[in-house]
Amino acid sequence: MVTRPDIRDIKWITGWKGLPECYVKVKTPGVTSIINEMIPDPEMEEWVRKVGQAKVDEILTNAGYRGTAMHLFIENFITILSKTKDPSEALRITQTNTPPILLNEEKVPQYKIDEGRELFYKFYYSEFSNAYMGLIAAELGIFSPSLFYRGKADVFFQHRVYGPSVTDFKTSNGYIKKGTVKELKYKYQLGAYANALDEMYKDKGLLIKRSSILCVNTKTEGLQEVVCEGKELEEYKEKFKTLAKEWHIKNNQGYLVA
């Protein structure tokens, strides 16, 4: 059966020589939205069943505040360090400039700013603090022009071995175990980000060969990097392409990926 655009998504605008033109607004999901909707998560479902959706939402909101704070501290530090090449100066500026932004613009509660700062310090004192000196962009909006999805890459940089690479930062309350749904979702996310960047920079011959998620653990000092590279990354690029197509079909937009 051929799917067709929803008539409610059709918009008329002023176009060439002032004449009316018809455009169809399409749903453009985020990477996480596709993954969460299309990949079953029995552990999450059991958690919601045990504590209730309201409690889960409260916990996730607080975790989100903490993650926002950590992200901004890390991204500000990396951005400043890539310019100054001076870790001490980058740390000083980051400590001074980040809290007011979090408090006033992001509306993050002070105690969550403090928690995010402590997680940032774990990053700062780790082996990863100078891994992104070849920064190309931070907080980069990404999209796939062929599969109609979008996202935001925390850091896009020149890896000293693999060349153009992408890394996302996350907080975690424990070690990400191999074979779990969480690890699987992370691998799909890594494939999605790499594929989008491949498409965006196709004319420049760029190909992402390494994509990673750096998890800062709230309970230990060690950081964990979930990595996709080489053949595994190519595998998850293809897997996410299939998942994105299935999402569009499920949401009555199969005509986009037919």
Beta-carbon contacts of 184 under 8 Å, excluding residues fewer than 6 positions away, are: 39
Q: Are 214 and 129 in contact (CB under 8 A)?
A: no
Write down the pLDDT at residue 23: 86
In this predicted structure, the answer to whether residue 1 has a pLDDT above a threshold of 80 is no
| Secondary structure of residue 148 in the 3-state scheme | coil
pTM for the model: 0.91
Q: CA distances (Å), 76 to each of 39, 80, 162, 177, in order?
A: 33, 6, 24, 30
pLDDT tens per residue across span 5-46: 777 778 889 988 999 998 888 899 999 999 999 999 999 999
DSSP letter for 127, please. Answer: T
Q: Going by DSSP bridges, is the β-strand pair 163-172/210-217 parallel, antiparallel, or unpaired?
A: parallel
Q: How far apart, in whole angstroms, are the C-alpha atoms of residue 98 and residue 70?
A: 10
Helix and strand tally (H, E) in the chain? 7, 7
pLDDT tens per residue across span 196-213: 999 999 999 999 999 999
C-alpha 213 chain-centroid distance = 9
pLDDT tens per residue across span 81-96: 999 999 999 999 999 9
Task: Count other C-beta atoms under 10 Å from residue 170's C-beta.
Answer: 17
Q: Are 69 and 117 in contact (CB under 8 A)?
A: yes
Write down the pLDDT at residue 9: 77
Q: How far apart, in whole angstroms, are the C-alpha atoms of residue 201 and residue 109?
A: 38
Please give the single-letter amino acid code of residue 90.
Answer: A
Backbone angles phi, psi at 57, to 5 degrees: -60, -40
pLDDT tens per residue across span 127-172: 999 999 999 999 999 999 999 999 999 999 999 999 999 999 999 9
- Ranges of each domain in the chain: 1-38+131-258, 40-130
pLDDT tens per residue across span 212-255: 999 999 999 889 999 999 999 999 999 999 999 999 999 989 98
In this predicted structure, the answer to whether residue 108 has a pLDDT above a threshold of 60 is yes
The angle formed by the CA atoms of residues 41, 150 and 175, to the nearest 5 degrees, is 40
The angle formed by the CA atoms of residues 53, 190 and 209, to the nearest 5 degrees, is 175
Write down the pLDDT at residue 60: 93
Q: Going by DSSP bridges, is the β-strand pair 210-217/10-14 parallel, antiparallel, or unpaired?
A: unpaired
Q: How far apart, in whole angstroms, are the C-alpha atoms of residue 218 and residue 84?
A: 29
Write down the pLDDT at residue 242: 98
Write down the pLDDT at residue 229: 96
Write down the pLDDT at residue 3: 63
Backbone angles phi, psi at 248, to 5 degrees: -65, -40
- Between 23 and 79, the higher pLDDT residue: 79
Class of domain 1-38+131-258 (CATH, top level): alpha beta
